[in-house]
Amino acid sequence: MVYCNSAGRYITITNDKYTLQTSVFVNLCEVEVYVCSVGTFGPDCASLCYCQSPGDRCHPVTGQCPYGCAVEFTGTSCNIKQPRFGYNDRYICHCDEGYCDTNTGVCSSRKCEKGWYGSSCQKENVAFNKNTWQSSTYSDGNGRRYSHYAVDGDTNHSKAYNTCTHTADGRTNASWGVDLGQSYPVANIKIYARDLHITNRFKGFRLFVDERNQTNQSPCRPEDNYDSKNKPNGFVVNCNTTGKYITITNDKTNEPTNSVYVNLCEVEVYVCSVGTFGPDCTSLCYCQSSGDRCDPVTGQCPYRCADGFTGTSCNIKCTDRNCRAPSACHINNGECKAGCHPGWMGDYCTQKCQPGFYGNQCIQSCDNRKCSRQNTECNNINGSCNGDCLPGYKGLDCSRIFIMSPC
């Protein structure tokens, strides 16, 4: 057996050593070339790897996938199934180690996988390692300042080279762009510019999110409203729009060089994972299909809620409602038409009474109870005193007058 561990189409066997007969031969009875089937690796091809695309072959020895793991898998060989959270395990945890809270997704380790952010690690930087371009490329003795330096995952903004892009000298306009690979509802974009030039080279800064690679649409942040002076590095641009291409342009002369530059150290484009929304992507929306993305700000689903959920952002479980009478439970009309059970309030009867109130329609005041003990806890449903009443009163909430009859 000969072990190779390499990829190739042609197998060649050569020989240039003379034998005793002073001739050189290749004299074979059979050559069998063994490969592992797609999705397997190891000496006996008995180990499984779950690569991004079903057709990707992982490394025959390490199991490493060429373009990353399938959605639900992680680990060097992409064979560790990621833990999940949420109702019916709808969401994938993106913790770097350990498990996440089964309801909220918050990681026990408080650390996210590379490329994921936020307190529940559901905010993804979709620009990381994607295809980039720029209008021209600056070069000097320290090398070329390539466009992909702005998506290499290194946010260092004090260095001039190896991790920051730089367009060439002597230009009257400059631009840089990234292709996210697909259209995303972009929540916000974080930009790290070079410390030395954050003010002068961002003077004409404009940012576009577009479905096509064009920059004739309205920019996310109009140039005239953008003030780069005293801007801290790693600043966020809010967009709340959908697009596949992010383009940053500049056509303002950078004094005193009279050239125009785009000079970026990192551009992070944040998108909430499918089924999450909100500034930190911690709110959950249960849309009809588990692949539906809801609005990154409002949480509204594109079609309707998943069965069993209701509310504007489809995050209210029908069985969690406390309707007084059975009510249909569909998106936007899942309100409790006949009102709530005592102790509950809101359109969907999922909110407890305000503190200090209880009972039917939450209008009974806890202060009016006649509990024997001061500051007794007040149950939202029945206002129970959890103990004795003051003389002359009875009932769970000690609100009924008790007339004692004489002996």
Contact 297, 186 (CB under 8 A): no
Touching Ca ion, residues 144-203 (CB under 5 A): 149, 152, 154, 163
Question: 361: helix, coil or strand?
Answer: helix
Tell me how far, at minimum, the Cβ of 155 lies from Ca ion, in Å.
6
Question: Which residue's CB is nearer to Ca ion, number 210 or number 266?
Answer: 266
Question: Which residue's CB is nearer to Ca ion, number 234 or number 279?
Answer: 234
Touching Ca ion, residues 247-306 (CB under 5 A): 265-266
Tell me how far, at minimum, the Cβ of 68 lies from Ca ion, in Å.
20
| Residue 200 CB coordination number (10 Å) | 17
Tell me how far, at minimum, the Cβ of 27 lies from Ca ion, in Å.
56
The pattern of x and - marking residues 203 through 222 that bind Ca ion according to CB under 5 A reads --------------------
Q: Does 134 bind Ca ion (CB under 5 A)?
A: no
Report the alpha-carbon angle 223-229-233, nearest 5: 95
Tell me how far, at minimum, the Cβ of 165 lies from Ca ion, in Å.
8
Q: Which distant-in-sequence residues (6+ apart) come within 8 Å of 214 by Cβ?
A: none
Question: Which residue's CB is nearer to Ca ion, number 56 or number 266?
Answer: 266
Tell me how far, at minimum, the Cβ of 340 lies from Ca ion, in Å.
53
Q: Which distant-in-sequence residues (6+ apart) come within 8 Å of 296 by Cβ?
A: 185, 186, 187, 240, 271, 272, 277, 278, 281
Question: Which residue's CB is nearer to Ca ion, number 101 or number 154?
Answer: 154
DSSP state of 406: P
- The rounded distance, in Å, linking the Cα atoms of 111 and 384 is 43
Structure tokens at 175: 């631009």
Structure tokens at 153: 């995952």
Question: Which residue's CB is nearer to Ca ion, number 237 or number 294?
Answer: 237
Structure tokens at 201: 């080279």
Tell me how far, at minimum, the Cβ of 265 lies from Ca ion, in Å.
5
Question: Which residue's CB is nearer to Ca ion, number 152 or number 335?
Answer: 152
Backbone angles phi, psi at 95, to 5 degrees: -85, 150
Q: What is the DSSP string of 13-34?
A: -------TTS------S-----
Question: Which residue's CB is nearer to Ca ion, number 160 or number 297?
Answer: 160
Binding residues for Ca ion, rule CB under 5 A, total: 6
Tell me how far, at minimum, the Cβ of 176 lies from Ca ion, in Å.
12
- Strand partners of residue 364: 358
Question: Which residue's CB is nearer to Ca ion, number 40 or number 137?
Answer: 137
Please state whether beta strands 131-134 and 174-193 pair in parallel, antiparallel, or not at all (unpaired): antiparallel
Backbone angles phi, psi at 79, to 5 degrees: -120, 15
Q: Which residue number places its CB atom closest to Ca ion?
A: 163
Classify burial at 155, counting beta carbons within 10 Å of its beta carbon; exposed 0-12, middle 13-18, buried 19 or more.
Answer: middle
Tell me how far, at minimum, the Cβ of 246 lies from Ca ion, in Å.
15
Question: Which residue's CB is nearer to Ca ion, number 55 or number 232?
Answer: 232
Cis before 279 (ω within 30): no
Tell me how far, at minimum, the Cβ of 359 lies from Ca ion, in Å.
60
Question: 131: helix, coil or strand?
Answer: strand
Which residues contribute to the site for Ca ion (CB under 5 A)?
149, 152, 154, 163, 265-266
